Amino acid sequence: MNPALDLLHPYPFEKLRALLAGATPPAERSAISLSIGEPKHASPALVAQALAANLDQLAVYPSTLGVPLLREAIANWCARRFGLQSDWIDPALHVLPVNGTREALFAFTQAVIDRSRDGLVISPNPFYQIYEGAALLAGATPHYLPCAAENGFNPDYDAVPAEVWQRCQILFLCSPGNPTGALTPLPVLKKLIALADQHDFVIAADECYSELYFDEASPPPGLLSACAELGRTDFARCVVFHSLSKRSNLPGLRSGFVAGDAAILKAFLLYRTYHGCAMPVQTQLASVAAWNDEAHVRENRDLYRAKFDAVLEILAPVMDVDRPDGGFYLWARTPGDDQQFTRDLFIQENVSVVPGSYLSREVDGVNPGAQRIRLALVAPLADCIEAAERIRRFIART
């Protein structure tokens, strides 16, 4: 067996199951889960209709590159969303459909890492655990940058030594961040592109939460926005990952895309051809409908906005918690140990959350997720309000 498998950490939800094992919540309280970031809003009907209308494509082998119609829809969406000139992004060169960002992030790392070098994969801390697992199984070493409250829950990139950048092969960004909801500002994105040029590493920007934000007049910038402002028409060393899971409430469709540097995507396409992970044609055609429509995405943001307004009104007086820049998580500070808080909350109120320390790694004796919990506001509004009221009662008793 691959010895690197022994380096993998249990997934946060495995740890959570172990933490809650043997715990019995009160039978009179219905279970409310704020732990798993699985969207629960209704999927758009137009996507289901497109999927059903193309079921004859079940008889067709899909190509890894994807159908031109999907790549064109994605390229047009990127141009509209991130301010690109229409001729900058070539659907045949700069876009590759993938089966959701999780699979793509993992596979991308395997394709990019040069195992002959003592390479680093740099990620925020806390982080989405696939970054770490992908690095370890690609033969690289994860390097974690703490995301502290005093820095807006973003890494302090200026504090990273030059020798770390020199060993970096992939820098993972997540904006808005999971679990913090923090955005990477546009000037920082430009600075990171300059560092990538200087030290020859790839920026892999996980932007799967990019369409969940609060101000309709100010969509958050992404890595492609920085490329646009810099006039970087080749997107050199820049690759972005997007998904329909959060944007369109379609986690079961397993549909997303990778876009950016054509040379990198050409090599990644070769890898994926051998990987055997082409998106079914009927899924591709359903995805076209999703990327071409913004009305359902605005409605989705309205639903999340209502949840944040209601939950923060209840929790802010009793917890250290703020509205994030984007996403659907709250990153709240606990009055004591985050694992004990999580277990006791489940036992007393039948509400599930994730300990922040499960989403982070301890570095130099500090775990930046300690004494925090992640609350995913994915349940219906009434359940989110009920969960917040239970948490408030629980804190009042402790």
% residues pLDDT > 70 (the chain): 100
Q: Residues 170, 202: contact at Cβ < 8 Å?
A: yes
- pLDDT for residue 115 is more than 90: yes
Tally Cβ neighbours within 10 Å of residue 390.
Answer: 18
What confidence tier does 262 reach under pLDDT thresholds 50, 70, 90?
Answer: very high
Taking residues 77-84, report their average pLDDT. 97
User: What's the pLDDT score for residue 139?
Assistant: 97
The architecture that CATH gives domain 59-293 is 3-Layer(aba) Sandwich (3.40)
CATH code that applies to domain 3-42+296-397 = 3.90.1150.10
Structure confidence at residue 204 as a pLDDT band (50, 70, 90): very high
Residues of the chain with CATH 3.40.640.10: 59-293
CA–CA dist 344, 322 (Å, integer)? 23
Domain with CATH 3.90.1150.10 in the chain: 3-42+296-397
In degrees and rounded to multiples of 5, residue 191 shows phi and psi of -65, -40
Residue 221: name the closest of 175, 173, 153, 260 by CA.
175
**In the structure encoding, which two tokens stand for residue 71, read together?**
């790549």
Backbone angles phi, psi at 373, to 5 degrees: -130, 150
Mean pLDDT across the chain, nearest whole number? 97
Is the pLDDT at 398 greater than 90, yes or no? no
Mean pLDDT score, 229-248: 97
Pairing of strands 32-33, 351-352: parallel
Give Rg (Cα) of the chain.
21
Q: Looking at residue 86, what is its pLDDT?
A: 81
What pLDDT score was predicted for residue 71? 98
Give the whole-number percent of the chain exceeding pLDDT 90.
99
User: Average pLDDT for residues 182-188, to the nearest whole number?
Assistant: 98
Between CA 59 and CA 40 the distance in angstroms is: 31
324 touches 331 (CB < 8 A): yes
34, 351 contact by CB (below 8 A): yes
Does 250 have pLDDT greater than 90? yes
Per residue in 330-374, pLDDT (tens digit) is: 999 999 999 999 999 999 999 999 999 999 999 999 999 999 999
The DSSP string of 123-149 is EEES--THHHHHHHHTT-EEEEEE--G
Q: What is the pLDDT of residue 389?
A: 98
